């Protein structure tokens, strides 16, 4: 028996993992990459098919312009250099759900190269390089279960055959499973912002393979890598990588050698397993696809696509910190999804004082969410609700104390702010004499402002209104307050 | 209604008696169309008459694999209805034609000469076929060919060899041997073939008909079962040059379904035929008149060139120095592409599937082993090898570079001349079985034709005499990219003068 591998912390500290990720993202085009069939997910099997995506004899591919635009948009968002000319290539292998016996992909002249994205690590910000981004077609799906004769045969659904994909290959810049997780999170976020994919992992519109090796710290050369496939969540990628790194170290520490191979991750067991070598002895025999002309995305087209590029998450976060005076942490939370950030910004902009909306989110909303262990998406109070409450405080209609109480009620009842406010809002004082009494007190207490007003600075009336509202705890009818104040001040 | 057998059509009964007609000019496209237009005969009767001819002659020749009677007669009836209303027929109205089996036809079995597609009935039409039918052509059926168009003698058909109508002991050439033989034997007025290394021109030359390979990109490949995508061309085989021009005019032009089809305007090739050839410069390359060229072929071709000189053409020596590399280059590029193109025949979705295979790889292996013939297997293996890791640069990449050099040879030559004249094939039709055991000798039958496929330029083969054994000889005229008009004009002038 081999000596027990030393995978103690001390041993692990002697090694440094090197990770590179290959991410496949389905593009949200209405039709497939080389034919006009629909890309809709979930339709009955083999209904969105034609001679082209079925790989029938004689059929030929014609490139979907929209797929190119989406891929270029993603490439630009990932800071890639878009190659003016790229070449499609055939990747040859036999598989039942690959109708032509080759996949049309790109090989030595990909659509885009030399990109990067920034991630946050335990030790600060870090750039992860993106080697390349290329366009390719998806294969169909083998259905191994769900049919009466599934124990005997495999069925094939070719609806997915020919759905456009981009493959995004990272540099081996990722140094830990946590960084891999962060890279994927940021990558997904950017792609979502560009709108070219829904990145839905359950539906397979985002898939990830990981290449991992370890090397003694300080060594320049890479160790032998393994490729981990079949991982369907970011969390599992992290777990699979943790497992693989420990396994590599274990093998090396016990004097063994890592075999370069493809391994599948079994999420139930938390382990990876090597595929049979027969299944992975692939020589894809790439060669340029003679049925397609070289893809040319000239400067003019690139400029057009660049104009469609939305504000990206990092830029947006920087701007939001500046615009609303919120913290780095809160901006991360507020931009955790594009929809949330959009809601926040829409609400803030519509409110009288955008910064107050941001303040309320920070000071009142976040704490309550955290205390209850809720994600911001689960908040009973919507961004519109926050904006409304901010306006009420701004106008003096409610006090800070009342706002806190109302927020508590929202969380208790699981209702949004407008509903709770409508029910709980303070009864208005419409009694003229009661309001006049408050007005008299306020005027008496502020002779200086009275003098200003009488001296011609009519805007001071706003100050008095605020004071009266405050003194009435927001309960005075604002219209009456205005009328009576004006009369009183002019008299 | 029976056709009125008057005038031109009074010759038909003689044919019906079973003599194979070798009169190439008996029935051209215009003659057939006018007869129908003028209601001298009905398109349906003409089609029926051709089917009778096929029934009589084809058992000896083997040109047809599948007849499309129902479809043909429906089209013919449509044309008759037009003619009955006195409307002008489209350019190929009612003309009976044949289509090589590598072009898919909706609802009509399309085997590409292979057992692996033995019962394959496509759900859509090849663009070229659809355009022929849109122009009124009556597609009689699908013609025999070398399996997946891989061959130079038609002996690689999985079904049966085709025999040369001129001499039944000889091959018709390949791979469009069925199309050439059908036209030569009067079993179709015109036919579509495909040319990847000479597969239209060489059988045209062997059978004594006209065969035109258009420029790459001139005719859509959509629906052409691919052999080598960057080399495959669809083109006509006809009795006359004018008919070739008519068919080309019908099938040429951009097709949105084929990304490699070119957005180049299609001239009226028929009208262009009338332009004079006087003053055109014809290149003669010594590389095409060297070792291996049969003496009789040489003298016929040289005589044809002299005839063109007599019509006022200037003969200019040109050099195409990389010609000697054409055959190896061709067999690397073509087989590499074929190895991928034929991967889809895996027994999964359509075509032959081995019975009782136990595993997936067993099913792949056995379906392909049973479905493909030996030449196809040989080429798949050659191509797979040429693309393999470690060999790609030495073979495929190098072949692509040589291909560029070959193309440049032609570009240089075409700076000096308007067309290049060569023999189509180094020999006349050879005997069945003569070369089947010697693939290299077979490959060399394409030595004068593969260069045009590699360079993407157009070429035409026009009959230019016979050997002592009465075997046809072909003159090949090569032209500039998209300049089919000039080579058609030259071929027409020669044809009219001879």
pLDDT in tens, B168-211: 999 999 999 999 999 999 999 999 999 999 999 999 999 999 99
Return the half-sphere exposure (C-beta side, CA atoms, 13 A cut-off) of residue A273: 8
CA distance A35 to chain B (A): 9
User: Catalytic: B175?
Assistant: yes
Q: What is the mean pLDDT of residues A78-95?
A: 97
Residue whose C-alpha is closest to residue A31's, from A159, A140, A189, A120? A159
Which 3-state string (H, E, C) describes chain B? CCCCCCHHHHHHHHHHCCCCCCCCCCCCHHHHHHHHHCCCCCHHHHHHHHHHHHHHHHHHHCCEEEECHHHHHHHHHHHHHHHHCCCCCCCCCCCEEEEECCECECCECCCCCCHHHCCCCCCCCCHHHHHHHHCCCEEEEEECCCHHHCCCCCCCCCCCCCCECCECCECCCCCCHHHHHHHHCCCCCEEEEEECCCCCHHHHHHHCCEEEECCCCCECCCCECCCCCCCCEEEEEECCHHHHHHHHHHHECCCCCCCCCCCCCCCCHHHHCCCCCCCCEEEEEHHHCCCCCCHHHHHHHHHHHHHHHHCCCEEEEECCHHHHHHHHHHHHHHHHHHHHHHHHCCCCCCCCCCCCCCCHHHHHHHHHHHHCCHHHHHHHHHHHHHHCCCCCHHHHHHHHHHHHHHHHHHHHHHHHCCEEEEECCCCCCCECCCCCCCHHHHHHHHCCCHHHHHHCCCEEEEEEEECCCCCEEEEEEEECCCCHHHHHHHHHHHHHHC
Question: How high is the pLDDT of residue A425?
Answer: 77
| Cβ-contact B168, B44 below 8 angstroms | no
User: Catalytic: B361?
Assistant: no
Question: How high is the pLDDT of residue B1?
Answer: 36
pLDDT at B11 over 60: no
Q: What is the pTM of this model?
A: 0.88
> A50-54, A140-144, A417-421, A431-435: which has the highest mean pLDDT?
A50-54
Catalytic pick among B175, B300, B367, B425 = B175
| Cβ-contact A316, A335 below 8 angstroms | yes
User: Catalytic: B261?
Assistant: no
A292: chain B residues, CB-CB within 8 Å: 259-260
Mean pLDDT of chain A: 90
Question: How high is the pLDDT of residue A7?
Answer: 61
Residue whose C-alpha is closest to residue B143's, from B180, B173, B172? B180
Find the largest Cα–Cα distance for chain B. 70
| Cβ-contact A190, A76 below 8 angstroms | no
Q: What is the mean pLDDT of residues A397-416?
A: 89
Nearest residue, CB atoms, A285 vs list B112, B223, B388: B388
Q: How many whole angstroms separate alpha carbon B63 and alpha carbon B98?
A: 10
Q: How many whole angstroms separate alpha carbon B246 and alpha carbon A384?
A: 72
Going by C-beta distance under 8 Å and a sequence separation of 6 or more, which residues neighbour residue B235? B192, B193, B194, B195, B200, B211, B212, B213, B214, B219, B244, B248
Over residues A317-355, the pLDDT tens digits come to 999 999 888 888 888 878 877 888 888 898 888 888 888
Residue whose tokens read 């391994």: A263
Using DSSP's 3-state secondary structure scheme, residue A190 falls into helix
Nearest residue, CB atoms, B259 vs list A54, A58, A60: A60
Mean pLDDT of chain B: 94
Question: How high is the pLDDT of residue A397?
Answer: 77
| Cβ-contact A369, A405 below 8 angstroms | no
DSSP 8-state assignment for residue A428? P
Q: How many whole angstroms separate alpha carbon A136 and alpha carbon A158?
A: 16
Q: How many whole angstroms separate alpha carbon B314 and alpha carbon B302?
A: 14
Q: How many whole angstroms separate alpha carbon A476 and alpha carbon A428?
A: 5
Nearest residue, CB atoms, B343 vs list A59, A100, A287: A100
Q: What is the mean pLDDT of residues B402-424?
A: 98
Over residues A245-256, the pLDDT tens digits come to 999 999 999 999
Nearest residue, CB atoms, A94 vs list B336, B364, B389: B364
Checking phi first, is residue B334 left (phi over 0); if not, alpha (psi -120 to 50) or beta?
A: alpha
Q: Does B257 touch chain A (CB under 8 A)?
A: yes
Q: What is the mean pLDDT of residues A362-387?
A: 88
CA distance B238 to chain A (A): 24
Q: What percent of chain B has pLDDT over 70?
A: 95
Residue whose C-alpha is closest to residue A293's, from B254, B285, B56? B254
Q: How many whole angstroms separate alpha carbon A236 and alpha carbon B108?
A: 52
The span from the first CA to the last CA of chain B, in angstroms, equals: 39
Strand order in the sheet with B472-479: B64-67, B138-143, B96-100, B190-195, B233-238, B210-213, B459-466, B472-479, B419-423, B281-285, B314-318
Q: What is the mean pLDDT of residues B316-332?
A: 96
Question: How high is the pLDDT of residue B24?
Answer: 35
Banded model confidence at residue A286, pLDDT cuts 50, 70, 90? very high
pLDDT at B3 over 90: no
Q: What is the mean pLDDT of residues A71-79?
A: 98
**Angle between helix A234-253 and A177-194 (nearest 10):** 150
Query: Cα dihedral sign for B99, B101, B104, B106?
Result: positive
Over residues A9-61, the pLDDT tens digits come to 777 889 999 999 999 999 999 999 999 999 999 999 999 999 999 999 999 99
Catalytic pick among B100, B142, B242, B435 = B100
Catalytic pick among B199, B220, B261, B461 = B199
Partner-chain contact B256 A62, CB within 8 Å: yes
Question: How high is the pLDDT of residue A4?
Answer: 53
A94: chain B residues, CB-CB within 8 Å: 343, 346, 364
DSSP 8-state assignment for residue A162? T
Banded model confidence at residue B406, pLDDT cuts 50, 70, 90? very high
Residue whose C-alpha is closest to residue A197's, from A126, A283, A133? A133
Range from A162-166, A288-292, A355-359, B329-333 carrying the lowest mean pLDDT? A355-359
Structure tokens at B203: 């059988």
Question: How high is the pLDDT of residue A278?
Answer: 55
Locate the chain A residue with the closest alpha carbon to B223: A58
Q: Are strands A141-143 and A155-157 parallel, antiparallel or unpaired?
A: antiparallel
When scoring B122, B227, B349, B367 by the number of chain A Cβ atoms within 10 A, the one with the most, hence best to mutate, is B349
Q: What percent of chain B has pLDDT over 90?
A: 91
Using DSSP's 3-state secondary structure scheme, residue A325 falls into coil
Over residues A160-196, the pLDDT tens digits come to 999 999 999 999 999 999 999 999 999 999 999 999 9
Residue A4 CB coordination number (10 Å): 9
**Angle between helix B127-134 and B241-251 (nearest 10):** 110
CA A104 vs. chain centroid, Å, equals 29
Question: How high is the pLDDT of residue B268?
Answer: 97
Q: What percent of chain A has pLDDT over 70?
A: 97
Over residues B271-311, the pLDDT tens digits come to 999 999 999 999 999 999 988 899 999 999 999 999 999 99
Going by C-beta distance under 8 Å and a sequence separation of 6 or more, which residues neighbour residue B92? B29, B33, B132, B135, B136, B137, B246, B247, B250
Residue whose C-alpha is closest to residue B336's, from B394, B377, B396? B396
Partner-chain contact B344 A57, CB within 8 Å: yes
Question: How high is the pLDDT of residue B442?
Answer: 85
Domains of chain A: 9-301 (no CATH), 313-424 (no CATH), 432-490 (1.10.10.410)
| Cβ-contact B458, B213 below 8 angstroms | yes
| Cβ-contact A399, A476 below 8 angstroms | no
Over residues B436-480, the pLDDT tens digits come to 888 888 888 899 999 999 999 999 999 999 999 999 999 999 999
């Amino acid at each position: 028996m081999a000596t027990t591998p030393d995978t103690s912390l001390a041993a692990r500290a002697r090694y440094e993992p090197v990770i590179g990720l290959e991410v496949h993202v389905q593009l949200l085009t209405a039709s497939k990459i080389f034919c006009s069939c629909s890309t809709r997910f979930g339709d009955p099997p083999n209904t969105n098919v034609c001679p082209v995506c079925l790989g029938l004899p004689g059929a030929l591919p014609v490139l979907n312009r929209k797929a190119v635009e989406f891929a270029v948009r993603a490439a630009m968002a990932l800071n890639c250099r878009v190659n003016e000319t790229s070449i499609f290539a055939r990747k040859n292998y036999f598989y039942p759900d690959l109708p032509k016996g080759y996949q049309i992909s790109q090989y030595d002249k990909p659509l885009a190269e030399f990109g990067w994205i920034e991630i946050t690590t335990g030790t600060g910000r870090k750039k992860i390089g993106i080697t390349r981004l290329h366009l390719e077609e998806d294969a169909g799906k083998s259905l191994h279960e769900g049919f009466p004769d599934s124990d005997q045969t495999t069925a094939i659904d070719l609806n997915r055959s020919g759905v456009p994909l981009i493959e995004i290959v990272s540099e081996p810049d990722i140094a830990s499973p946590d960084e891999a997780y962060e890279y994927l999170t940021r990558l997904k976020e950017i792609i979502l912002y560009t709108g070219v994919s829904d990145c839905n992992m359950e539906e397979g519109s985002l898939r990830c393979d990981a290449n991992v090796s370890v090397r003694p710290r300080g060594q320049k050369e890479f160790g032998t890598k393994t490729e981990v496939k079949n991982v369907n969540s970011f969390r599992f990628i992290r777990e699979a990588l943790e497992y693989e790194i420990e396994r590599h170290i274990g093998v090396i520490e016990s004097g063994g050698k890592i075999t370069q191979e493809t391994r599948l991750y079994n999420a139930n067991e938390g382990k990876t397993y090597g595929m049979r070598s027969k299944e992975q002895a692939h020589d894809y025999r790439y060669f340029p696809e003679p049925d397609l002309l070289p893809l040319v995305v000239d400067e003019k087209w690139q400029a057009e696509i660049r104009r469609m590029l939305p504000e990206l998450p990092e830029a947006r976060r920087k701007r939001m910190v500046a615009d609303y005076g919120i913290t780095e942490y809160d901006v991360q939370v507020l931009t955790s999804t594009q929809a949330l950030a959009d809601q926040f910004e829409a609400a803030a902009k519509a409110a009288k004082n955008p910064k107050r909306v941001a303040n309320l989110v920070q000071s009142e909303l976040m704490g309550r969410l955290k205390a209850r262990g809720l994600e911001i998406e689960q908040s009973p109070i919507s961004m519109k609700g926050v904006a409304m409450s901010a306006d009420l405080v701004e106008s003096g209609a409610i006090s800070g104390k009342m706002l806190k109480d109302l927020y508590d009620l929202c969380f208790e009842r699981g209702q949004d702010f407008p509903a709770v406010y409508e029910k709980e809002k303070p009864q208005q004082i419409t009694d003229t004499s009661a309001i006049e009494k408050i007005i008299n007190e306020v005027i008496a207490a502020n002779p200086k402002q009275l003098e200003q007003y009488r001296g011609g600075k009519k805007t001071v009336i706003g100050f008095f209104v605020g004071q009266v509202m405050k003194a009435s705890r927001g309960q005075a009818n604002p219209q009456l307050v205005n009328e009576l104040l004006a009369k009183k001040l002019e008299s | 209604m029976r056709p009125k057998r008057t005038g031109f059509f009074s010759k038909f009964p003689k044919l019906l008696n079973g003599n194979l007609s070798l009169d190439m000019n008996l029935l051209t496209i215009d003659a057939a169309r006018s007869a129908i237009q003028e209601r001298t005969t009905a398109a349906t009767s003409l089609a029926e008459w051709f089917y009778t001819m096929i029934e009589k002659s084809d058992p000896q020749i083997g040109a047809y694999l599948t007849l499309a009677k129902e479809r043909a007669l429906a089209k013919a009836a449509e044309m008759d209805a037009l003619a009955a209303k006195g409307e002008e027929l489209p350019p190929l109205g009612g003309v009976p034609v044949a289509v090589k089996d590598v072009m898919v036809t909706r609802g009509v079995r399309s085997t590409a000469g292979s057992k692996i597609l033995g019962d394959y009935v496509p759900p859509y039409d090849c663009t070229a076929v659809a355009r022929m039918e849109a122009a009124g052509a009556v597609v009689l059926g699908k013609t025999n060919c070398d399996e997946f168009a891989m061959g130079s003698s038609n002996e690689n058909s999985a079904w049966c060899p085709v025999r040369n109508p001129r001499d039944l002991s000889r091959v018709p050439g390949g791979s469009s041997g069925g199309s050439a033989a059908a036209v030569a034997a009067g079993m179709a007025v015109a036919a579509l073939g495909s040319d990847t290394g000479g597969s239209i021109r060489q059988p045209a030359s062997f059978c004594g008909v006209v065969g035109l390979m258009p420029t790459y990109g001139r005719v859509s490949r959509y629906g052409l079962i691919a052999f080598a995508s960057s080399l495959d061309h669809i083109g006509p085989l006809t009795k006359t040059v004018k008919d070739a021009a008519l068919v080309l005019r019908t099938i040429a032009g951009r097709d949105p379904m084929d990304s490699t089809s070119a957005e180049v305007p299609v001239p009226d090739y028929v009208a262009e035929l009338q332009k004079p050839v006087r003053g055109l410069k014809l290149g003669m390359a010594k590389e095409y008149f060297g070792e291996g060229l049969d003496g009789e072929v040489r003298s016929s071709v040289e005589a044809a060139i002299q005839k063109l000189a007599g019509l006022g053409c200037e003969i200019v020596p040109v050099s195409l120095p990389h010609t000697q590399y054409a055959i190896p280059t061709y067999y690397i590029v073509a087989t590499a592409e074929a190895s991928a193109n034929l991967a889809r025949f895996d027994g999964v979705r359509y075509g032959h599937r081995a019975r009782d295979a136990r595993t997936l790889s067993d099913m792949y292996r056995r379906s392909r082993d049973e479905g493909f013939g030996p030449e196809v297997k040989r080429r798949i293996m050659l191509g797979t090898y040429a693309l393999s890791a470690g060999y790609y640069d030495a073979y495929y990449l190098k072949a692509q570079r040589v291909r560029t050099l070959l193309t440049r040879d032609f570009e240089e030559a075409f700076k000096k001349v308007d067309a290049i004249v060569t023999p189509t094939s180094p020999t006349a039709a050879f005997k069945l079985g003569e070369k089947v055991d010697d693939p290299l000798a077979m490959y060399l039958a394409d030595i004068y034709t593969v260069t045009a496929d590699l360079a993407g330029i157009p070429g035409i083969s026009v009959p230019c005499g016979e050997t002592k054994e009465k075997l046809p000889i072909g003159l090949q005229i090569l032209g500039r990219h998209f300049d089919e008009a000039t080579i058609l004009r030259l071929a027409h002038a020669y044809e009219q003068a001879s």
